[in-house]
Structure 1
């Protein structure tokens, strides 16, 4: 009488099962983290007209890790006192106290109007206050 499963079939099934479990756990870990918060202007003034661009930096060496390019810049009309935002971090990074999100408010011609930053903390909003840039 021939068995339904022989040793070779059992080994193939075990290998396929292990590969499937490994690939699903990597897929779950590769989901990008979402960072959200609000942007305000110093002194509770309206945020000037321009576009908000976000990038990510490390706290220790102040190197620019990544401009969060996959997120479209937000537009300020000059009439808002507060703007809510949400950006996706690169898949390899997780929010930690070593990372800082930096917001730059730029005019249409690229000149910097204001800048602000906030430390990232897991599961907490990163509220940024913009300060006017002095040239």
Structure 2
């Protein structure tokens, strides 16, 4: 079944509002209105984000609402969570800047999520250190 025009408008309202804001400030600028810069700023700093929070899809809502919770979440996170969060934030930033294509972003995200946690790496390093110490002790015992 195809979506009704009202459903499509609701699903795309953030894009529609962004386009309307752009049209309004461009029209004001080209007709010599003095308020075009105020329309641009108010539109993109207030109107579009509020529309995204209220009517955007889950990704839009998370993008705007999570910013406030992110700092609190990171302060509760342990050191291994901070490194994973930093790597994920860096990946998101590079994708948002357009440094990565969709395919590159997805591939790197998969790799990041499949990689070992820092705790796993620390455990493996400790095991390797114990094995090396044990081997060293065995050699010392053989020499005596």
Question: Where on the TM-score scale, by shorter chain, does this alignment land: which range?
Answer: under 0.3
Question: Of the two structures, which has the highest relative contact order with CA contacts closer than 8 Å and spacing of 6 or more?
Answer: 1
Name the one with the larger strand percent: 1
Q: TM-score, normalised by structure 2?
A: 0.22
Name the one with the larger helix percent: 2
Q: TM-score, normalised by structure 1?
A: 0.23
